[in-house]
Amino acid sequence: MSAMSRAIRAFGGGAASRRNLSVAASKEAPALAAAAAVVAGRRGGRDPGEDGSRVQWVFLGCPGVGKGTYAGRLSRLLGVPHIATGDLVRDALASQDPLYKQLAEIVNHGKLVSDEIIINLLSKRLEEGEEKGELGFILDGFPRTIRQAEILEGVTDIDLVINLKLREEALLAKCIGRRKCSQCGGNFNVASIDIEGQNGGPRMYMPPLLPPPECESKLITRADDTEEVVKERLRVYHDLCEPVEDFYRARGKLLEFNLPGGIPESWPKLLQALNIEDPDNKRSAAA
């Protein structure tokens, strides 16, 4: 078991750990951070470097905002693993994990999965990554509570937290419009979002991401992508997760990024905000 996953599990388990979390995190943070640096390949600073191994980033944002999309793109661009706790939960559901019934009940009602379950799934994923020789990470969906943020701070040094923001009416339409191909696993969106600008601002347009013809008849909708469940997920996020934004804002690590529209418009602006160049974009511009 890796040093980081061992420490996460130690902090995450039991009432005694919960009561002593702040003290333990403060007391043991230097030693745990040093051990975690070996696992995560951290060399310090926000510059991702040529191989991306300096990256220890977190993506925050409401359900449906696009954390997975943008974190995944950065993962491929920087050569660093993208670890999405939402994917870990869905994989556990699909594999009939022993937690299946408990997870299904939570997810299908738009509730947050407990810290204990998330920590166990994340620890397992970190162990698998260590065995593969992975360096660095981009976390998506963790931390979602102050307690989780304290756990993470106690075991490693997060360089940057990217908080993606999008208007709520666009979020609702995006979530309801999500589709997945049951055969190839591709993710698509049938929603066409066209919203008037606020306070004289520009209009927001997000075109649909339609599937190729071979996937059209195989599209499925996630059980939690109903209007009622999505609204509940957004309410839960605002109540429980926004304090995490304040946690990182107070530490000077929060980058707030308002998505101006769809991927073609937002992606280059996000890269600009992160001071990252995309070679593919440069080649396209030169062509």
Q: Which of 46, 222, 231, 269 is catalytic?
A: 222
Q: How far apart are CA 122 and CA 55, in angstroms?
A: 18
Contacts with 10 (C-beta within 8 Å, 6 or more apart), sequence order: 17
pLDDT at 241: 84
Strand-pairing partners, residue 193, are: 206
Q: How far apart are CA 148 and CA 137, in angstroms?
A: 16
Catalytic site residue 178? yes
Q: Which of 9, 67, 174, 180 is catalytic?
A: 67
Tokens 């660093």 appear where? 80
Catalytic site residue 101? no
Catalytic site residue 67? yes
CA 205 to chain CA mean position, Å:
23
What's the pLDDT tens digit per position in 231-260? 988 888 888 888 999 999 999 999 999 999
- Within 70-186, strands assigned E span 82-84, 137-140, 160-165, 178-181
pLDDT at 6: 60
Domains of the chain: 1-22+52-165 (3.40.50.300)
pLDDT at 16: 35
Low-confidence residues of the chain: pLDDT under 70: 1-54, 97, 281-287
Catalytic site residue 249? no
Q: Which of 42, 178, 179, 180 is catalytic?
A: 178
Catalytic site residue 147? no
